Chain A
């Protein structure tokens, strides 16, 4: 399955997802309450230490920040101009620490383990009318639909190409949408025809 998980055997990998998520949320909140540059910088260094503990190269940590490099530079420049270098460094360091910390959970936890944890946690919400089995069905269906949608889009594009319409967004989007809705209706009928009962 498509996943950002990096296999490993470190203590961070072995920790179950529940405590890891909880710890991440607590640290993330703490980072927002802290208002000092040295503390935030310490948090960033500590997070990088955790990457080493997880056996992940620091190169990978840098890769987590790369998609955000442009926005980090923009923020740094704006803050520098608005309120000086200290606050600029603070904001960018805090943002980097937060992103690295959150990515660390993702990198050391399998998506399937995360889904299991979430489904188990959802059982607690049962009194509120949440049905974990239905949520589980929705998750698996969504993951199955993604490649199917790609395939349908490719087919419709090819068909529209023969009509010279491959550059029209609407001429592609509309048939794709109608075909997928039809598919969704067929799948609902198929699920019900097999006597699916999510209450069981």
Chain B
């Protein structure tokens, strides 16, 4: 792997960590759970850095979390977060980023295709791994776990929109990517 790829991998891992420093945004009052900006890092890593670099960037990020750096939003870190109920979502991040990068590489970057690629990788793939994990850890029936997570979908759609706009802007400013 060339030097540029290593630097990009480090950059997107760091970007995801920096997004965790942003306070979670809550809108619609208490009706919806507060959303953290962090999974935006997953979408951007896949969409901007590509499947390989994006996937490795997220792998590096979760490795840094695992060794005990408090990089998750709210200052969480260490192996405990993987044992917890939302551990599956974290494990899904590298796969999610890689799928986003791969889909965009195949389907192109028209606004609609970009947005759907990011949504498939960033929501579908993530939930497909995270929800069964949650169901096992909490011994919940799958349908109940799906119900809990349904509350997060609106926030994730907002993130898909932001990731799409930012990716398009960057591809225009940085056509070499």
CB pair A67–B76 under 8 Å, yes or no, is yes
Of A7-15, A49-57, A106-114, A158-166, the stretch lying at the interface with chain B is A106-114
Chain A: interface residue total (CB-CB under 8 A): 65
List B contacts of A141 (CB < 8 A). 6-7, 10-11, 14
CB pair B60–A138 under 8 Å, yes or no, is yes
A90 to B37, CA, bound (A): 33
Q: Separation in Å of the B142 CB from the closest CB of chain A?
A: 12
Q: Separation in Å of the B45 CB from the closest CB of chain A?
A: 11
Q: How large is the interface on B (under 10, 10 to 19, 20 to 34, 35 or more residues)?
A: 35 or more
Interface SS, B side: helix
Name the contact of B165 in the complex, choosing from A170, A178, A185 (C-beta under 8 A).
Answer: A170
B64 close to chain A: CB less than 8 A: yes
CB pair A134–B1 under 8 Å, yes or no, is yes
Q: Give how many A-B residue pairs fall within 8 Å (CB-CB).
A: 173
Name the contact of B170 in the complex, choosing from A99, A105, A131, A174 (C-beta under 8 A).
Answer: A174
Which residues between 47 and 74 of chain B lie within 8 Å of chain A, taking CB atoms? 48, 56, 60-61, 63-64, 67-71, 74
A87 to B139, CA, bound (A): 9
List A contacts of B155 (CB < 8 A). none
Q: Separation in Å of the B23 CB from the closest CB of chain A?
A: 13
CB pair A91–B138 under 8 Å, yes or no, is yes
6 A-B pairs, CB-CB below 8 angstroms? A87-B139, A111-B67, A138-B6, A142-B10, A170-B166, A185-B4
